[in-house]
């Protein structure tokens, strides 16, 4: 199963300058990042798949914004069209975060339990060895 494809990205985001190789690079890097962040190796888990797709869309918009291709406004005929890349990026990132957070929490709790140590109290109590030492 293909988690995300160039055609998938192009169906949401129009770019005349961005190459298929650039989009594929974003897909590959984003997939690796999400899998590492979530601590999983299976990209076919439905939540992980959707998180990858949303993050790829956000990263593609960030790329277009930083290269200058995604202008805030575009002249269309006699009018203008308003782009909202920041809102779209935020929306996609929020959706991805909601899907990945349970995996991140699980990974974090697993990591913490690996390095936790048993708790114990060190010191003397006033009833140590059945008596009161120094307290009369």
SS3 track for 13-66? CCCCCCCHHHHHHHHHHHHHHHHHHHCCCCCCCHHHHHHHHHHHHHHHHHHHHH
pLDDT in tens, 94-136: 999 999 999 999 887 766 555 555 555 555 555 555 555 555 4
The bridge status of strand 73-76 relative to strand 79-82 is antiparallel
pLDDT > 90 fraction of the chain, expressed in percent and rounded:
58
Range of the domain at 46: 19-100
Query: What pLDDT is attached to residue 130?
Result: 53
Say what the pLDDT of residue 136 is.
45
29 is a domain residue: yes
Q: Is residue 4 part of a domain?
A: no
Q: Give me the chain's average pLDDT, please.
A: 84
Residue 120 lies in a domain: no
Strand segments, DSSP code E, in the chain are 73-76, 79-82
- Whether 22 and 9 have beta carbons less than 8 Å apart is answered as no
With respect to residue 119, please indicate whether it lies within any of the assigned structural domains: no
For 10-60, how does the pLDDT look when each residue is reduced to its tens digit (9 = 90+)?
Answer: 999 989 899 999 999 999 999 999 999 999 999 999 999 999 999 999 999
In sequence order, what are the beta bridge partners of 76? 79
| Overall residue count recorded for the chain in this entry | 136
Domain assignment of residue 48, yes or no: yes
pLDDT tens digits for 80-105?
877 788 999 999 999 999 999 999 99
Q: What is the pLDDT at residue 35? A: 96
Cα dihedral sign, 46-99-55-10: positive
CA 24 to chain centre: 18
Asked whether residue 12 is domain-assigned, the answer is: no
Instruction: Look at residue 8 and tell me if it is in a domain.
Output: no
Please give the tally of structural domains in the chain: 1
The reply to whether 109 falls in a domain is no
């Amino acid at each position: 199963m293909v988690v995300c494809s160039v055609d998938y990205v192009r169906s949401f985001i129009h770019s005349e300058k961005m190459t298929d190789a650039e989009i594929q690079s974003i897909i590959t890097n984003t997939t690796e990042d999400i899998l590492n962040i979530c601590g999983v190796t299976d990209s076919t888990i439905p939540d992980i798949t959707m998180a990858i797709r949303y993050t790829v869309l956000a990263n593609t918009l960030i790329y277009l914004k930083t290269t200058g291709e995604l202008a805030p406004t575009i002249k269309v005929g006699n009018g203008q069209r308003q782009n909202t890349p920041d809102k779209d990026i935020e929306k996609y990132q929020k959706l991805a975060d909601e899907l990945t957070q349970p995996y991140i929490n699980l990974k974090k709790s697993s990591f913490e339990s690996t390095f936790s140590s048993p708790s114990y109290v060190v010191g003397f109590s006033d009833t140590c060895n059945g008596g009161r030492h120094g307290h009369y």
